[in-house]
Amino acid sequence: MFRAMSDVELQAALDRMTLKKLDSGQALYEKDETGDSMVVVLDGILRVEIDDPSGKPRAIATIQIGESVGEMSVIDPAPRSASVVAASDVVLLELSRDDLEDLRRHTPSVSSQIVSSIIVDLTKRLRKVNERIERELDPNVDLQGNMKNKTALNDTKGEEAKGGFFNRLLKGIGR
């Protein structure tokens, strides 16, 4: 996020960010709470969690040194999509939506670089999610991306090749 910034731009960003420390196990964000900030990890590891069907928290990602989390909240005031917990003692830099707006007004180049970085990070995450969805929907690929049955792809006479799979999929989701 800060690599392309000049020293002056970096200082402008740092002047508006807040240093925050969490102990291991301490919650940073709770799913569904209203969010208005993001953090960059300076030291330690954060764990991103969602509840499984039984209500037990399940780790779906880790955020390590140099990575950020909570970016959607500085752009969109919707509720948080996951909980984030300190997996170790962590040191963070926090940027609020108000701070980003202040940067936009006073140092637009800094704001622009931060928003561009957020877009790049969110795009990468979205691509990973799309790849996972494609793997889960493909009857010929297991969850690790390995082919289950290589001959199925070559069978152009089968139901799958005629669109049967997608018709069943659409019917299954009520369309």
**pLDDT tens-digit map of 8-41:** 999 999 999 999 999 999 999 999 999 999 999 9
Question: Dihedrals φ, ψ of 53, to 5°?
Answer: -55, -25
The CATH homologous superfamily for domain 7-119 is Jelly Rolls (2.60.120.10)
Residue extents of the structural domains in the chain: 7-119, 148-172
Q: What are phi and psi of 168, to 5 degrees?
A: -65, -40
> Distance between CA atoms of 158 and 171, rounded to whole angstroms?
19
Residue 138 has pLDDT above 90, yes or no: no
**Whether residue 171 has pLDDT greater than 60:** yes
Mean pLDDT over 46-50 rounds to 96
**pLDDT-based confidence at residue 156 (cuts at 50, 70, 90):** very low
SS (H, E, C) 112-150: HHHHHHHHHHHHHHHHHHHHHHHHHHCCCECCCCCECCH
